[in-house]
Amino acid sequence: MTGDTKYLNVVTSFADWCLRSGVQDPAGWFYAYMGIDSDWEWSKIYGVRERITRQTTWLAKGLLAAYQLTGNQAYLDAVVRAGDYLVNDLLTYNPDTGEVYRSQDRQRVYTYYSQIPFGKLMAELLLGVYIEVDIDIMPRSDLNPINLSSAGVIPVAILSSDTFDATTVDPETVSLAGAGVKMAGKGGRYLSQERDVNKDGLMDLVCEVITEEFLIEPGQSVALLEAETYDGLSIRGVDTVWIVADI
């Protein structure tokens, strides 16, 4: 990914418009199209109040991506309203057959335009919504070698960004490929510290995870980190690793 903030600005600008324009009906579905009045202000739906399923699913997925990038709860709330509408409105979804209709006419089932995005959105809501973050396993190492028989710890840095403060992550919830953060003696303190790992002026969170707890097989090249912030936001990040044999 480029990391260019101009793309993030486009995402947040669009998501904010979705929230303030009235394009989402209070019932949760999104209008198929809108008109512009003489003062170039967005007006309500113009024409038929057609509830096109793909419109709601794709806009909801866009807002879900915006939430994952920013953590803005308002975006997620709009997604949940859309999801509730889609599964509860029998005009667009038939729970007995699993059919997802094009719109409230219940006459056509579009596999590509309706069924696929509907299914993906439902799966994402079921599995949980998380924020994608950048991590760096063994900072200052490019290969990230891990000996699974080692009795030591592996440092992993959760990196801050313009939209995410890594210091809000609760070390107790950190799991890197199944490995938790080591505790310091009997004091109940987890081995973690705040420091600017990548020298971007933002404080990151470095945690020491227990090597022997890794649930990763030799040959695997990617490790997944999962954690939560103190206010309950779920995060995920991945980095490459190199599993080495016993020395």
CATH topology of domain 132-244: Immunoglobulin-like (2.60.40)
Q: What is the pLDDT at residue 202? A: 95
- Residue 128: phi and psi, rounded to 5, are 105, 150
Q: What residues does CATH 2.60.40 cover in the chain? A: 132-244
Tokens of 206: 């470095």
Question: pTM (2 decimals)?
Answer: 0.59
pLDDT at 42 over 50: no
Residue 10 has pLDDT above 90, yes or no: no
Nearest to 29 by CA among 17, 14, 18: 18
Q: What residues contact 160, with CB distance under 8 A and at least 6 apart?
A: 166, 167, 200, 202, 203, 204, 205
Over the stretch 83-94, which tens digit does the pLDDT of each residue have? 888 777 656 666
Distance CA 24, CA 31 (A): 6
